[in-house]
Structure 1
């Protein structure tokens, strides 16, 4: 459970307007806290977490030039997620529908890392210090 007294990041990942399903994240192992939907049933905003690491999924918003990766035609950010077992988290993400970008590798700079792209185009770097 997240300690609310600690400073922490909670990234907001944008998805195309009119998206109805974000089940990739729960198949991958995220816990959904809430999901507010628009009148047509599409997702407005959802809050999820991985072992207390909270993040939000939000439809693209007008007026602030927010783009999801597919509309931006590229990577808008890379989310670094520190976990105890990089290989397990990577395997679970790939089996849930992610696309492998970089396989799990131990690097000379002291990190074990793997990277994937989720179905909405967001890049996740799964990592731990070794």
Structure 2
């Protein structure tokens, strides 16, 4: 199984009410911009931001024709080697703590927050399915 970033085939998709505020928050926790496409009015219609550990997030501004869930109702689990620093950066950037960082019974360390728009983010060092990756 190929596990490099180009082979990641699962990308969460979200929509944001305030794309500028959320891109600043994403940058603060470690995401990097790969592509951001805007329409003629300047509205973000499709963006791809990469996570340094692999994969990324696709998002756009809330639009009436969007098939996505209401803004603020998404949930993401983000695997990182240093969940404490990502958690701290998320809170410093305006997220509210849902569950403090703790060592998990099933392995790894993790905690969760609500981003400035209300989406649920969990940060952890536990890699689901890691034992299945050769």
Q: Structure 1's 38 and 80: CA in aligned 2 closer, same or farther, altered over 3 A?
A: same
Deviation per CA, 1:83-113, whole angstroms, max 9, x where unpaired? 1011111111111222211110112222311
Q: Which residue of 1 aligns with 2:126?
A: 129
C-alpha root-mean-square deviation of aligned residues, in Å?
A: 2.4
Which residue does 1:72 correspond to in 2?
none
TM-score (ref. length: structure 2): 0.76
What are the Cα deviations for residues 35-73 of structure 1, in whole angstroms up to 9, with x where unaligned? 11233323222110121321111223516364212xxxx
- The secondary structure found in structure 1 opposite 2:41 is coil
SS in 2 for 1:110: coil
2:67 aligned to which of 41, 52, 64: 64
Tell me how far apart the structure 1 counterparts of residues 80 and 126 of structure 2 sit (CA, whole Å).
Answer: 9
Supply the distance in 2 between the matched residues of 1:84 and 1:108 (Cα, whole angstroms).
17
Give the number of equivalent residue pairs.
121
> For residue 30 of structure 1, what is the aligned residue in structure 2?
31
Partner of 2:14: 13
Match of 1:98 among 92, 95, 108: 95
- Residue aligned with 2:91, SS: helix
Contact preservation (8 Å) 2:14, 2:74: no
Identify if the C-alpha distance between structure 1 residues 20 and 42 changes in structure 2 by more than 3 Å, giving closer, same or farther: farther
SS at match of 1:14: strand
**Which 5+ residue runs of structure 1 have no aligned equivalent?**
70-75
Give the Cα separation in 1 of the matches to 2:8 and 2:31.
Answer: 21
1:45 aligns with 2:42: no
Q: Does structure 1 retain, via aligned residues, the 8 Å contact 2:8–2:55?
A: no
* TM-score of the pair, normalised by structure 1: 0.78
**Unaligned runs of at least 5 residues, structure 2:** 128-134
CA distance in 1, matches of 2:19, 2:86: 25
Aligned to 2:113: 116
